[in-house]
């Protein structure tokens, strides 16, 4: 079966790269006359929907009723695979942007789209610049634009890493509700460092939002640990005692 998946990936991956380049270019063009980023977000959603379709991956969603599409949130999730990004884009019915690793913004086409669409780069070496980006994002959250961030700081393989406290500067600066999100099995659809697309299912579980009043006065690492505990509560490896 793995041989079949490998053969299928030989044509799926180049097709995905082509569609990515086309839609990212269209997105950059839209950005010239759409400062809101909404048209760019539509391009990104079309991109994600296409990838799920061509990869034969089914996305299961749970907890969408817990969020208000008109409000701005900070979604905090564990990070397993590139499919995490596509799952948010395809499944989340709100206007949102990513707080992503700075290196992604240097990639052709994809990086252009990310920057022009209002996503924010997170630097692991320049703390002050990252804080400035978070402060700018706070103004967008006040206008109902949400952000997605991965507090582990990178992709993992099943085992969850401790959430980094710096990731929570964004919701604290914005006084925004924090929505813990558990992602399951994305690494089984596309592993880190692999181009092998494996058909199957993955899941996105949206937990109850944590209001600013609930975390006011809590230090950042305690807040990070509490949010991670919520994410981990629905995570199979954790619930089975393996992490």
Q: Which of 36-45, 47-56, 70-79, 231-240 has the lowest mean pLDDT?
A: 231-240
| Residue 63 confidence (pLDDT) | 96
pLDDT in the model for residue 111: 74
Mean predicted confidence (pLDDT) in 225-239: 85
pLDDT of amino acid 79: 93
pLDDT in tens, 99-154: 877 777 777 766 766 777 778 887 767 777 777 878 888 888 988 999 999 999 88
| Cβ proximity of 95 and 169 under 8 Å | no
Render pLDDT for 154-171 as a digit per residue (tens, 0 to 9). Answer: 888 767 899 999 889 889
Strand partners, 52: none
The per-residue pLDDT for 35 is: 77
pTM, to two decimals: 0.87
- The closest alpha carbon to 178, from 204, 153, 133, 146, belongs to 146
| pLDDT, tens digit (0-9, with 9 covering 90-100), for 104-114 | 777 776 676 67
Band the pLDDT of 207: cuts 50, 70, 90: very high
**Which pLDDT score, from 0 to 100, does residue 157 have?**
73
CA pair distance 26, 119, nearest whole angstrom: 16
Q: CA separation (Å) from 213 to 3, 18, 165, 177, 191?
A: 53, 46, 18, 9, 38
| Residues recorded for the chain | 243
């Amino acid at each position: 079966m793995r041989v079949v998946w490998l053969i299928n990936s030989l044509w799926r991956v180049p097709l995905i790269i082509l569609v990515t380049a086309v839609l990212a270019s269209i997105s950059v063009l839209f950005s010239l006359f759409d400062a809101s980023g909404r048209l760019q977000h539509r391009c990104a959603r079309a991109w994600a929907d296409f990838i799920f379709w061509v990869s034969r991956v089914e996305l299961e969603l749970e907890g969408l009723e817990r969020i208000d599409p008109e409000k701005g949130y900070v979604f905090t999730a564990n990070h397993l695979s590139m499919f995490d990004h596509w799952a948010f884009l395809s499944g989340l019915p709100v206007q949102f942007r990513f707080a992503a690793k700075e290196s992604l913004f240097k990639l052709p086409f994809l990086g252009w789209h990310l920057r022009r669409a209002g996503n924010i780069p997170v630097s692991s070496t320049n703390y002050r610049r990252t804080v400035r980006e978070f402060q700018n994002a706070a103004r967008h959250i006040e206008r109902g634009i949400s952000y997605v961030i991965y507090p582990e700081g990178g992709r993992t393989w099943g085992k969850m890493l401790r959430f980094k406290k710096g990731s929570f500067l964004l919701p604290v600066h914005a006084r925004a509700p924090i929505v813990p999100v558990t992602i399951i099995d994305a690494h089984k659809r596309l592993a880190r460092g692999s181009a092998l697309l494996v058909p199957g299912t993955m899941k996105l579980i949206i937990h109850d939002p944590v209001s600013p009043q609930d975390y006011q006065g809590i230090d950042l690492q305690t807040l990070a640990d509490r949010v991670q505990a919520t994410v981990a509560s629905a995570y199979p490896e954790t619930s089975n005692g393996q992490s």
